[in-house]
């Protein structure tokens, strides 16, 4: 009798457990068929322009990494304007002033740069890999041809000012936005103890060796500064160019008014 009661109890327990399992597996009353949630795809990143230089209080420059073509727009299909090169006409590494970077979440980012050479003022785009690492500086040199003064700013504040000699009427110093590309010595007494090569090119030949480039340099004729004695270059008293060299590095934006 006891065995029958035990067996009957075990049977009820088993049936109760089986019913509970079936109920748990069944869909809720009134519920529709099971659905699978598909993740919402992430939209592609919007094209973005990142400012690299304002050419007054902060600027970035870079050396050449690859001799790629400089194009009119940030695309490999845009018209070629020039080509990156490793060295200036005088031999030192070429310096490119970077204005902004463009990205659209593709494999290639682009950098907008100022292009040295004639005609002055050209701007173009190169793949980011064409340039080396960016160097950040906070200086700007302003040369005023009317007042015959050069002024160096750091973080927007004046740190240096000196008289200059600029191009005569027949061979003027071209105005515009440029930058300092190189620092040189050993040109001889005509150029003083030191000279800076710029990205400004004269419309005619300057007194720079090889012609063309507008330089910022010392002089062996200090009595002509301030004035308009040159073929396009910017002359300073020797003590002033040496002082400027201690405050200003290559890559510094140059504004000629």
> Are residues 256 and 143 in contact, defined by beta-carbon separation less than 8 angstroms?
yes
Provide the 10 A C-beta neighbour count for residue 71: 19
Query: What are the Cα distances from residue 225, in Å, to 7, 164, 175, 231?
Result: 120, 6, 19, 14
Closest CA to 74 of 33, 35, 94, 102: 102
233 is catalytic: yes
217 is catalytic: yes
Give the 3-state secondary structure percentages of the chain, helix then strand then coil, rounded to 5: 15, 35, 45
Catalytic residue among 138, 233, 237, 243, which? 233
> Are residues 178 and 199 in contact, defined by beta-carbon separation less than 8 angstroms?
yes
**Burial degree of 223 (CB within 10 A; 0-12, 13-18, 19+):** exposed
Catalytic residue among 85, 177, 217, 243, which? 217
Closest CA to 240 of 198, 200, 206, 195: 195
Residues labelled catalytic:
217, 233
């Amino acid at each position: 009798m006891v065995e029958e009661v035990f067996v009957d109890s075990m049977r009820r327990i088993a049936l109760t457990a089986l019913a509970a399992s079936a109920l748990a597996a069944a869909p809720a009353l009134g519920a529709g068929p099971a659905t699978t949630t598909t993740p919402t795809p992430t939209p592609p990143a919007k094209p973005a322009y990142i400012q690299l230089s304002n050419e007054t209080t902060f600027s970035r420059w870079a050396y050449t990494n690859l001799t790629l073509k400089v194009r009119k727009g940030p695309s490999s299909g845009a018209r070629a304007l020039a080509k990156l090169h490793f060295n200036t006409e005088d031999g030192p590494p070429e310096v490119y002033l970077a204005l902004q970077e463009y990205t659209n979440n593709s494999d290639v980012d682009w950098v907008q740069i100022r292009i040295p050479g004639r005609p002055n003022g050209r701007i173009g785009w190169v793949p980011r890999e064409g340039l080396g690492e960016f160097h950040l500086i906070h200086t700007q040199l302003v040369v005023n041809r009317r007042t015959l003064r050069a002024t160096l700013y750091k973080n927007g504040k004046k740190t240096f000012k000196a008289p200059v000699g600029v191009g005569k009427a027949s061979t003027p110093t071209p105005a515009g936005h440029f930058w300092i590309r190189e620092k040189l010595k050993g040109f001889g007494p005509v150029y003083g103890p030191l000279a800076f090569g710029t990205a400004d090119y004269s419309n005619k030949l300057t007194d720079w060796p090889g012609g063309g480039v507008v330089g910022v340099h010392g002089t062996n004729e200090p009595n002509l500064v301030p004035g308009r004695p040159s073929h396009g270059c910017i002359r300073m008293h020797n003590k002033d160019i040496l002082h400027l060299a201690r405050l200003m590095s290559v890559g510094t934006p140059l504004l000629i008014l």
